[in-house]
Every structure is written in C-alpha cells, then in structure tokens.
C-alpha cells in the first residue's frame, strides 16, 4: 500500500512539472511573437513584454537563451546599445554549448551579433552571425535562418560590401517568414542594389512599386522604413524636393511610434536636405537633435554620421574652428568603428565557414550515394544470382558513373564559388585602399585648416605687438621688436610648406608633374596655390595660409590662368580639379 501511494505521488508530481513547463513554453512563444511585432514601434510595451519573459525564465532556465535573444532583438530594432548584456550572453554560452544545445547556442551567438552591430563592432557581429547561420541550417530552423541572413545583409551594407549584402537580403526572403519581415528584406535589398551596377534609379522605382503592398499591410514600422529609404535614394539622385516629400511622410509616422534610432536617422536625413537647399538654421537644428539622440542610445554609426554632417554645415558657413572640431570628432569616431571592423578578416571567416559547409554537404551527398548503392547491391544478391548478374553489374557501373558525375559537378560548383569570393576579397581590398586615401585627404584638409588658424593667431599677435611698439620706451620697443621678429619667422615657414607638399603628394602623386608638363615656368608658390585650389580652399583661407592679402591671391590666380593659357571664361578651379 505505501509503495502504491508514493508511486502515485511521484507520477502526479512528474505530470504537474510537465504540464507547467508546457504552459510556460506556450506563454513564452505567444509573448515572443508580440515582441517581434512591436519591438520597432512600441518601445515601452516591448520592455513590459520582456519583463514577462524574464519572469517565465525564473521557473524555466532552459528558456534563458531565447529570452536573451528577444532582448537583443529588441535592442537592435530600437538601435539601442546595452553594455552589460553581452557579458551575460557570453557566460551562458559556456553552459549552452553547441553539442548539447545547438539551437540555444545559435540563439546566443545571434544575440551577440545583434548587440555588436549597434556598437559598430562589425567583425565580431559578422563572425557570430555566420556561426549562427550554420547552426540554423543544420537544424532546418528557416525562420531564424532568414532573420540572421537579414542581419548579415545589414552588416555587409554598412561595411560597403554591397554585392554580398544584396545576396544575403535575397536569401533572407522566405515564404515561411512573416510578411512584414519579407517586405523589410526587400526594402534593404533595393538599398543595396542602389550601390551596385543596378543603380539608384532602378532601385527607387522598385521601392515605389512596393507602396501599395506596404499600405495594405498597415504596419507603421514597415511604412516608416520604406518612406525614409525612398527619400534617401532620391537624395542620392540629387532630387531634394521629391526626397523631402517622402521624409515628411516618414516624419508623420515617426511621431506615432516609439523608436529613437529611427527618429535619429530621419533627423540626419532632414538635416542633409536642409543643408542642400541652403537652410543652415534648420540643418543645425535637426542635426543637434540627432546628435543628442544618438548619444543617448549609444549608436556608434549614427553618432559618426551626425559629426560628419555638423562638420559639413560649419565648413559651408565658414566657421573654421567648429568645422575642425567636428572633423576631429568624426575622424575619432570613424577610427573607433574601423578598429572594431576588420572587413577582410571577417570576410575570410565567412569564406572558411562557407567552404566548411560546402564540404560537409558534399560528404553527406557521397554517403547517401554509397548507401543507395549498398541497398541496391543487397537487393540484387538476394535475387537469383546467376540470372541477374549481368543486370547487377550494369547497375553498379551506372551508379558509379553517376556518383563521379555528381562529385565532379559539386567540385566544379565549389571552385566557381571560391573564385567569386576571391574576386570579392580583391574588391574589399580596393575599398580599404580607397578608405585610406580618403583619410589622407582629410589629413591634408585638417592640416590646412590648422595652418590657417595658426596664421590668423600669429597675425593678430603681430598687429597687437605693432600697436604697442614705442609706447613705453626703448625696452618695450626692443621687446615688441623681438615678438614681431619671432612671429614673422613662424608665419608660413618653409618647413610647413614642405610638410604640406609632402602630404599633398601622397594623396595626388602626379598632380605637380602634370602641371609642370603643361607649363614649365610655374614656380613653387604657383604649384602650392594650385594645390590649395584643387582642395577647394577659398581665396580668403589661401591668403591666410600664405600670409598675403586676398587681392594678392586674386592677382596670382589671374597670372596663373595666363601661364596655363586658359581663356577668360575658363574656370581655374575646374581646371586643377580635373588634373
């Protein structure tokens, strides 16, 4: 009797645990689906839903990886960085290893990738996304596979690998994914195509055709993203008025949703539009708000863009000090992102993962072929051996030939893919070279601004020293003369001149030699002045750098045009820019 009683109690407890665990999983999945729908547009409600998921995990620890995934997904949707979450995720990876918990392990890697994108750490994000992708493929988890492919597309787009980005976006399109996710993937795909051979004109037409389907879906998040990106592509085509019309539509939706990252992107685009039409006041107002928001959410990429736009605004306004300040902040922020985003290394990681996957699929194909061959052989042997001997030999020969054909085709396809990726690596290296060249251009421009500011300060000291000369006697006179002498020696010294020429030659190595081939009589001062005009520096700034009057620079431009045999209506600036 007691034994039956305890046995009954045991089975009752087991059933109760199973029932509540099943109920927890069902509740968790329902809430997770709500988070997927609301993460982009309703931040406050999403946080409440995440708290409910966290409470569920206190009774079901096996759901912790899924909770961390949805928390990271929400951060990514809102463009908000969370400095502490990756530490928690890495600690859980030690327990949820890939052998015992393959899905949970993939979700944790995916979570790390979402958070690293926000902070601009594209290398780690790319690597972890690839690892997660391999796991999802092995587990036939198509929905999560599509989502991580969409993330890989975003990473490649931000690192300027537009062709690869487009391929990932296409792969992420799946009939099993929610319609809203497929539409977002299509929008991103058109954005990537705008920077490929397809071009922005065809890409924006594709987006415009999506408007009826997006309106029918009645999803504020998708509509906001669509209108913002349509506006961006029209700005890329230099159609600011059309772009502004779509920005206004996006702004109307943006005021109805809770997403600071989206609003930051919209404000940056509005600032660029205002700057393009010459409305500096609105441009400054928009970019100030965007800078503040990007700092609040810790979005590295958006903060970098805000600094770049502010530098451009102040440069066009002629505020050299502010322009130099934000140029330095932009360079520092971009350097921080680039130091965390070694594109070539992450691409090599992708190639390794891809080749490993291809080899595994080839091995499985061989094993299946061999298994079929053995089954067929056993079936033939069990039959009348003598009568069917000829047939069995024919079948074996056919299967072997077919197997070799499959292997050859697989090897050929693998080789073709390897050649494609090697070509892509070369393109990435060329992109990196271009980035280095751009950095040199910024360095020369920064150096010229710094030299201009230094000469302004020295001129002011020189003027004040000249005014005070002779007022308080011979000793003050000698002191003022010494100051004037020191200042004059430091105004546009020959050493600084040589430094400028050295930096300029690194960026434009054939510029001076081409000029001299056109006119052998050009002096060193003529060459320097041509260099400044090629960089787009104004006559006023050139006058300050060379320590001469603006009128002198104007006369020098006139004489240069004569030496270079330019017509009266020809532009000297256009001439040197085309060399």
Range 407-416, long-range pairs (CB < 8 A, 24+ positions): 407/362, 407/366, 410/362, 410/365, 411/362, 414/355, 414/358, 414/359, 414/362
436 and 540 in a single domain? The answer is no
Residue 418 lies in a domain: yes
Helix, strand, coil shares, percent, the chain, to 5: 85, 0, 15
In a domain, 5, yes or no: yes
Percent of the chain with pLDDT over 70: 79
Contact criterion met (CB below 8 Å) for 85 and 72: yes
Alpha-carbon distance values, 116 to 13, 33, 40, 123, 352 (Å): 43, 23, 18, 9, 21
Residue 522 is part of which domain span? Answer: 448-577
Q: At 269, is the pLDDT very low, low, confident or very high (cuts 50, 70, 90)? A: very high
Q: CA 456 to CA 461: how far, in whole Å?
A: 9
Same-domain pairing of 101 and 32: yes
Final residue of a structural domain among 445, 475, 504? 445
> Whole-angstrom Cα distance, residue 122 to residue 114?
10
Q: Is the pLDDT of residue 149 over 90?
A: yes
Q: What are phi and psi of 278, to 5 degrees?
A: 85, 15
- Lowest-confidence segment of 140-149, 302-311, 367-376 by average pLDDT: 367-376
- The alpha helices in 469-510, defined as continuous H runs, are 474-490, 494-507
The residue ranking higher by pLDDT, 556 or 340, is 556
Lowest mean pLDDT among 35-39, 153-157, 216-220, 538-542: 538-542
Q: Are 159 and 122 in contact (CB under 8 A)?
A: yes
- State residue 91's pLDDT score: 94
| Average of per-residue pLDDT across 57-64 | 92
- The answer to whether residues 23 and 129 belong to one domain is yes
Q: How far apart are CA 354 and CA 419, in angstroms?
A: 13
Same-domain check for residues 551 and 502: yes
**How many C-beta atoms surround the C-beta of residue 518 within 10 A?**
12
Domain final position from 388, 420, 445: 445
Q: State yes or no: pLDDT of 418 exceeds 70.
A: yes
Say if residue 160's pLDDT is above 70: yes
Q: Considering only CA atoms, which of 425, 416, 339 is closest in space to residue 164?
A: 425
Instruction: Share the mean pLDDT of the chain.
Output: 83
Residues 433 and 460 grouped into a single domain: no
Q: How far apart are CA 301 and CA 118, in angstroms?
A: 8
214 within some domain: no
What is the number of domains present in the chain?
A: 3
500 with 422, same domain: the answer is: no
Same domain, 486 and 568: yes
Confidence (pLDDT) at 502: 82
Enter the tokens of residue 449. Answer: 């601004």
Q: Please report the pLDDT score of residue 183 as a whole number.
A: 94
Q: Please state, in angstroms and as integers, the Cα–Cα distance from residue 50 to each residue in 47, 54, 183, following that order.
A: 5, 6, 25
**Residue 16 domain-assigned?**
yes
- What average pLDDT score do residues 95-110 get? 94
- Do 483 and 452 lie in a common domain? yes
Segment 120-147 mean pLDDT: 93
**Would you place residue 477 in the very low, low, confident or very high pLDDT band (cuts 50, 70, 90)?**
low
- Cα Rg of the chain, angstroms: 33
For tokens 């030699």, name the residue. Answer: 513
Positive or negative CA dihedral for 187, 189, 195, 199?
Answer: negative
Flag whether 274 is in a domain. Answer: no
What pLDDT is stored for residue 15 in this prediction? 39
Higher pLDDT pick, 359 / 221: 221
Higher pLDDT, 145 or 486: 145
Identify the pLDDT of residue 345.
45
**C-alpha–C-alpha distance, residues 66 and 54, integer Å:** 10
DSSP string, 135-157: HHHHHT-HHHHHHHHHHHHHHHH
Domain assignment present for residue 468? The answer is yes
Q: Is 410 in the same domain as 459?
A: no
Establish if 387 belongs to a structural domain. Answer: yes
- The answer on 499 and 418 residing in a single domain is no
What is the CB neighbour count within 10 angstroms for residue 525? Answer: 12
Tell me what the mean pLDDT of segment 209-233 comes to.
Answer: 94
Residues 6+ apart with CB under 8 A from 63: 24, 25, 28, 53, 56, 57
What is residue 457's predicted lDDT score, i.e. its pLDDT? 55
Does residue 452 sit in the same domain as residue 485? yes
- Taking the C-alpha atoms of residue 295 and residue 302, their distance in angstroms, rounded to an integer, is 9
Q: How far apart are CA 214 and CA 397, in angstroms?
A: 56
Assess if residue 470 is contained within a domain: yes
Same domain, 401 and 460: no
Q: What is the pLDDT of residues 69-89, one digit of tens each?
A: 999 999 999 999 888 999 999
pLDDT tens, residue by residue, 174-188? 888 899 999 999 999
Res 369: pLDDT: 64
**Residue at which a domain ends, from 393, 419, 445:** 445
Q: For the chain, give the percent of residues with pLDDT over 90.
A: 45
């Amino acid at each position: 009797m007691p034994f039956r009683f305890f046995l009954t109690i045991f089975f009752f407890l087991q059933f109760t645990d199973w029932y509540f665990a099943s109920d927890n999983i069902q509740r968790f999945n329902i809430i997770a689906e709500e988070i997927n729908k609301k993460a982009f547009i309703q931040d406050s409600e999403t946080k409440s839903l995440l708290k409910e998921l966290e409470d569920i995990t206190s009774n079901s620890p096996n759901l912790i990886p899924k909770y961390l995934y949805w928390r990271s997904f929400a951060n990514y949707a809102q463009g908000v960085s969370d400095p502490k979450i990756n530490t928690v995720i890495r600690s859980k990876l030690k327990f949820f290893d890939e052998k015992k918990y393959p899905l949970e392990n993939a979700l944790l890697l995916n979570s790390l990738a979402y958070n690293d994108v926000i902070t601009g750490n594209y290398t780690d994000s790319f690597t972890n996304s690839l690892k997660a992708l391999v796991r999802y493929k092995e587990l036939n988890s198509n929905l999560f596979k599509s989502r991580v492919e969409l993330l890989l597309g975003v990473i490649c787009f931000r690192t300027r690998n537009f062709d690869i980005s487009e391929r990932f976006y296409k792969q992420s399109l799946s009939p099993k994914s929610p319609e809203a996710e497929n539409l977002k993937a299509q929008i991103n795909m058109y954005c990537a195509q705008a920077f490929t051979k397809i071009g922005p004109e065809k890409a924006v037409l594709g987006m415009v055709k999506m408007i009826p389907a997006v309106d029918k879906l009645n999803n504020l998040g998708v509509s906001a993203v669509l209108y913002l990106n349509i506006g961006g592509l029209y700005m890329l085509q230099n159609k600011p008025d059309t772009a502004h019309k779509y920005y206004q539509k996006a702004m109307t939706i943006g005021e109805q949703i809770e997403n600071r990252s989206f609003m930051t992107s919209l404000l940056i685009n509005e600032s660029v539009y205002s700057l393009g039409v010459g409305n500096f006041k609105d441009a400054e107002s928009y970019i100030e708000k965007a800078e503040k928001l990007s700092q609040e959410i810790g979005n590295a990429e958006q903060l970098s863009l805000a600094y770049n736009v502010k530098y451009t605004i102040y440069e066009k306004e002629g505020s050299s000090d502010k322009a130099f300040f934000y140029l330095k902040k932009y360079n520092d922020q971009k350097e921080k992102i680039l130091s965390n985003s070694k594109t070539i290394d992450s691409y090599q990681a992708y190639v390794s993962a891809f080749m490993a996957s291809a080899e595994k699929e080839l091995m499985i194909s061989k094993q299946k072929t061999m298994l079929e061959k053995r089954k067929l052989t056993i079936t033939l042997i069990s039959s009348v051996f003598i009568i069917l001997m000829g047939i069995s030999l024919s079948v074996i020969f056919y299967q072997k030939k077919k197997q070799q054909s499959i292997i050859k085709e697989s090897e050929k396809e693998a080789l073709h893919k390897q050649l494609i990726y090697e070509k892509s690596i070369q393109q990435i290296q060329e992109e990196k070279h271009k980035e280095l060249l751009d950095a040199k251009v910024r360095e020369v421009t920064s150096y010229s601004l710094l030299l201009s500011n230094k000469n302004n300060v020295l001129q002011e000291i020189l003027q004040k020293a000249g005014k005070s000369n002779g007022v308080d006697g011979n000793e003050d006179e000698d002191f003022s003369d010494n100051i004037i002498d020191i200042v004059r020696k430091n105004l546009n010294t020959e050493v600084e001149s040589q430094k400028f020429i050295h930096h300029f030659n690194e960026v434009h190595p054939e510029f001076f030699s081409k000029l001299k081939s056109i006119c052998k009589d050009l002096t060193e001062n003529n060459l320097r002045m041509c260099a400044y005009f090629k960089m787009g520096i104004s006559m006023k700034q050139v006058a300050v750098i060379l320590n001469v009057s603006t009128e002198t620079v104007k006369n020098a431009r006139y004489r240069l045009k004569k030496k270079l045999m330019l017509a009266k209506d020809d532009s000297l600036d256009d001439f040197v820019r085309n060399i």
